[in-house]
Structure 1
Amino acid sequence: MVSCRGVGSSSVSLLLRRSHRDSYGGEMSTSSSMIFYCLVFLAEILMFGLLSLVLFWVVYYRDGFGWQDEPKKEFNFHPVLMICGFIFFMGHAMLVYRLFRCCNKLTAKILHTFLYLMAVPCIVVGTITVFDSHNLNDPPIPNLYSLHSWLGVVTIGLFALQVTHTLVVGFFSFWLLLCCEQGTARFRAGLVPIHATFGIITFMLAIATAVTGYTEKAFFALSTGYSQRVEEAWVINAQAASLAGLAILMGFLLYSSRYARSTHPVAIIDPPSNSHYVMTQKTYYYREHE
């Protein structure tokens, strides 16, 4: 904690500006760091491996990609783009605040927002292709009748709320309102746990939706019998197992307090009145003399 008794207004203003720019990462012990980076490495293997597996599956076993003239091949965009958007980009976006501990807050927020925005076109096109492939099929396949589709609607809705929060509330609170950082700190601090919690819920729902989707595809696409196409079944099961592993790893990394960035008080300012004005990176409040 830095005491600012007797510090001029220019120095106080400098501290106010630096409170947002400075890094807010806490130090981990050597053993915690080793465990943390091992878990992150495993999560990266699962995310890159899952994306590679789904691409291999649709190209090698599902005849690759097509567009509206080939509805069955157009459907193949759906699993690839949904895994890319919901799991790959969104997973990395959530790890930003854990991984880039040496970066300041603004840099981490920009990268977090960029990864979220990268997921948007993947999810939009992936949703369009599944409706197209159903409607253009001969005969047409009903939409939104399965458990997978219902979970998908909920997941996409939560993701849309996250993106809206990031673009609208995040833009105003973290950019325009920084000119009044003291007045908006409590508001911004209150939004952080809400945004983080809904992000994790959306990610876990995306994993559940993907697993039900693989199960549905296995029963409908492997019409010759699931047990008769062992190699493809293994590829599908490997993807579902990777998703389960990611749910465990990401949940632990994001919920464990030992890997969270800690917040520390920035300064104490003595105003003319008989009180201390305490600034932290998340809250601003007055503390009366005892």
Structure 2
Amino acid sequence: MDGAPPPASPTGLSAYVAVSQLLGLTLLAATGAWLGRYRGGVAWQGQLQFNVHPLCMVLGMVFLQGDALLVYRVFRNEAKRSTKMLHALLHGLALVIALVGIVAVFESHRAKGIADMYSLHSWCGMAAFVLYLVQWLLGCGFFLAPGASFSLRSRYKPQHIFVGIALFALSIATCLLGITEMLLFNIRDSYSQFVPEGVLANTVGLLLVAFGLVVGYVLTRDEWKRPPLAEELALSMDFKTLTEGESPGGSQ
């Protein structure tokens, strides 16, 4: 009925979302502390340009990507169109920040005469970014732009969800590879002696895993999925009628 309060969030959802955000912010702080305390900080020009890369990739490809995936769990009672727009906006922002990080590492390598795209980390990272861009473009085309039929959207949706979660996992795995590679380049001889930089960087890795696990848990709980609102069900049937030429009560 009009004026009724929105349904409460399912038990436990708010707590897990809060934990994910606490882990994510701690991850960003720990990454910044590592780069600031042991790698000299972050700058676009000069020797510190490389450090823009890990900071941007953690911020964009992990934290913002994870938050974009959580949008449909957090904003359960908002209009579907608004939720879609926020979902796409966060993913788009993550892509822009990740692109800055990619440009930074290529420019840094060029200035130092270091070869590009030879390591497993770089291969996984470029694959993750390109597939993420394709996923974002397809998502905008199918779910935001007019033209895609109801049946086409329905068939693509499971693939979109699966690829989104897979890319999130790949992004975290790529960051873990990058942390290990960076430590071996910079503190190879002392890494095994539990030096403070190694311990802090390993902690960043554990925070990456923890953030990914909590986000993944929230996404895979069926009872925490966003339920369709009554008006969305009606609009969905109208959209199907317009695009498929079926009546709302017609056979499937």
Q: Do they fold alike, i.e. is TM over 0.5? A: yes
How far did residue 120 of structure 1 move?
Answer: 2.0
Q: 1:267 to 1:51 in 2, by over 3 A?
A: closer
- Higher fraction of strand: 1
Aligned to 2:41: 64
Asked if residue 207 in structure 1 is aligned to residue 194 in structure 2, the reply is: no
Tell me the TM-score normalised to structure 2 length: 0.85
Aligned to 1:238: 203
- Higher fraction of helix: 2
Aligned to 1:80: 55
Asked if residue 40 in structure 1 is aligned to residue 17 in structure 2, the reply is: yes
Query: Is the 1:82–1:126 Cα contact (8 Å) retained in structure 2?
Result: yes
**2:60 partner amino acid:** G
Distance of 2:238 and 2:31 partners within structure 1: 42
Asked if residue 157 in structure 1 is aligned to residue 130 in structure 2, the reply is: yes
How far did residue 191 of structure 1 move?
Answer: 2.9
How far did residue 223 of structure 1 move?
Answer: 3.8
Secondary structure at 2:172 match in 1: helix
Distance of 1:98 and 1:200 partners within structure 2: 14
**2:78 partner amino acid:** C
Aligned to 1:219: 184
Distance of 1:113 and 1:220 partners within structure 2: 36
**1:93 partner amino acid:** A
Aligned to 2:67: 92
Structure 1: 5+ residue stretches without partners: 1-24, 178-182, 270-277
Q: 1:268 to 1:246 in 2, by over 3 A?
A: closer
Distance of 2:125 and 2:67 partners within structure 1: 20
Distance of 1:145 and 1:268 partners within structure 2: 50
Secondary structure at 1:252 match in 2: helix
Q: 1:288 to 1:105 in 2, by over 3 A?
A: closer
Distance of 1:92 and 1:56 partners within structure 2: 22
State how many pairs are aligned: 241
How far did residue 147 of structure 1 move?
Answer: 1.2
Runs of 4+ in structure 1 over 4 Å off: 25-28, 264-269, 278-289
Query: Is the 2:56–2:97 Cα contact (8 Å) retained in structure 1?
Result: yes
Q: 1:233 to 1:246 in 2, by over 3 A?
A: same
Structure 2: 5+ residue stretches without partners: 1-5
Tell me the TM-score normalised to structure 1 length: 0.74
Distance of 2:204 and 2:157 partners within structure 1: 32
Larger Rg: 1
How far did residue 110 of structure 1 move?
Answer: 1.3
Question: How many percent of aligned residue pairs carry the same amino acid?
Answer: 29
Asked if residue 104 in structure 1 is aligned to residue 79 in structure 2, the reply is: yes
Query: Is the 2:150–2:239 Cα contact (8 Å) retained in structure 1?
Result: yes
